[in-house]
Amino acid sequence: MGITSMRTASAADNELPGDRAATSRLTAAEIYSAAVRTGEEELKRSSAGLALSGLAAGLGMGLTGLGSAAILAEMGDGVAHYLLANLLYPLGFIVVIVGRAQLFTENTLFPVVLVLDRRRHVGNTLRLWAVVFAANVVGALLFAVLMIKAGAVSPEVAAALSRLGTKTVQGSFVHLFWAGVAGGWIIALMAWLVTASRFTIGQIALVYLMTFVVGAAGLAHCIAGSAEALSAVVAGQVPVGTYVVWLLAATLGNTLGGVVIVSLLNYGQVRGSRRGLRQAERPLSDVEDATTRKVPSPRR
């Protein structure tokens, strides 16, 4: 979501209970509570607003491939050169997240934890997913047309961008699916960590480190990869059918990785017992006293 992108709680929402210092780490329960509030905010948005934000995110995600292509155009296609090019892979994610645009893979966290928390809003979440996903792909297509057809970049950079797209869609459906699961897990985990960060510089550092791993490991991301793959499609290097198969595998994997590995596990650790949020607001002495009262005294 935009990754919405960076959804951080407001200063009031992030205020910690009691006399805890402003630099104290948030508990898992507090991060969860902020994520639920963010999910609620996202589901209130109109479809038109989501679509425009998603379109901006799709365009912005093209910077992941553009930065890498600019390096490859100068350095060549060596293995080490691809690793060097991935140093700029996080650029699109940073732009989208700091700009709070709607990114599909981020929405595998925030609305999902809200649905798990409230046991409702499923239809509204599906609406958000459909609108944002479609807008992200259209934005990625507009980026590809701008770079390849409109001649916004040099032929060398355009050729490198097309080569990246060709490389992106390679692999079997099963491989791409599991690469998508791993990629979706990392992106949703990044959204969870960004929610815990209070300062923009910390959020940027988290986004950079997490998404660099996605690019360097060659994991699948349905939107960042679409900007590259569609560039290859527009250039005539990749058939449309090949792209569609890749997109299906990557999207299914991203969704499963984000929903199951991040959203469900964090829901389980915080709300599985239905006591996490309540206990986070209680003094430790009260929790220990309650636990002690439940333990029977030894017989003499």
Q: Which domains does the chain have, with CATH numbers?
A: 28-294 (1.20.1080.10)
In 3D space, the residue among 213, 226, 137, 138 whose CA is nearest the CA of residue 176 turns out to be 226
Question: Which pLDDT score is estimated for 131?
Answer: 97
Percent of the chain clearing pLDDT 70 (strictly above): 83
Question: Which pLDDT score is estimated for 18?
Answer: 44
Q: With 70 as the cut, is the pLDDT of residue 177 above it? A: yes
| pLDDT band at 27; cut points 50, 70, 90 | confident
As a whole number of Å, the end-to-end CA separation of the chain is 61
More confident residue, 98 or 283: 98
Span 195-216, average pLDDT: 94
Question: Which pLDDT score is estimated for 9?
Answer: 41
Question: Which pLDDT score is estimated for 280?
Answer: 61
- Among 142-151, 152-161, 170-179, 259-268, the range scoring the smallest mean pLDDT is 259-268
Residue 90 has what DSSP assignment?
Answer: T
| pLDDT band at 53; cut points 50, 70, 90 | very high
Token digits of residue 84:
């060097």
Whole-angstrom distance, CA of residue 103 vs CA of residue 208:
16
- Among 36-45, 94-103, 110-119, 291-300, the range scoring the smallest mean pLDDT is 291-300
| pLDDT band at 4; cut points 50, 70, 90 | very low
Span 269-279, average pLDDT: 64
Whole-angstrom distance, CA of residue 243 vs CA of residue 226:
8
Question: Which pLDDT score is estimated for 274?
Answer: 54
Share the mean pLDDT of the chain.
87
Percent of the chain clearing pLDDT 90 (strictly above): 66
Max CA-CA distance within the chain?
A: 88
| pLDDT band at 283; cut points 50, 70, 90 | confident
Whole-angstrom distance, CA of residue 107 vs CA of residue 133:
10
Q: What's the whole-model pTM score?
A: 0.83
- CA distances, 99 to each of 60, 75, 236, 274, 300 (Å): 10, 30, 32, 34, 66
More confident residue, 90 or 15: 90
Question: Which pLDDT score is estimated for 126?
Answer: 96
Q: With 50 as the cut, is the pLDDT of residue 20 above it? A: no
Instruction: Please list, in sequence order, all residues whose beta carbon lies within 8 angstroms of the beta carbon of residue 108, skipping any fewer than 6 positions away.
Output: 184, 187, 188, 254, 255, 257, 258, 259, 262, 263
Whole-angstrom distance, CA of residue 45 vs CA of residue 106:
16
Question: Which pLDDT score is estimated for 16?
Answer: 41
- CA distances, 254 to each of 44, 140, 188 (Å): 24, 17, 9
| pLDDT band at 105; cut points 50, 70, 90 | very high
- CA distances, 193 to each of 3, 77, 96, 151, 154 (Å): 11, 34, 16, 38, 38
Question: Which pLDDT score is estimated for 24?
Answer: 75
In 3D space, the residue among 90, 110, 94 whose CA is nearest the CA of residue 50 turns out to be 110
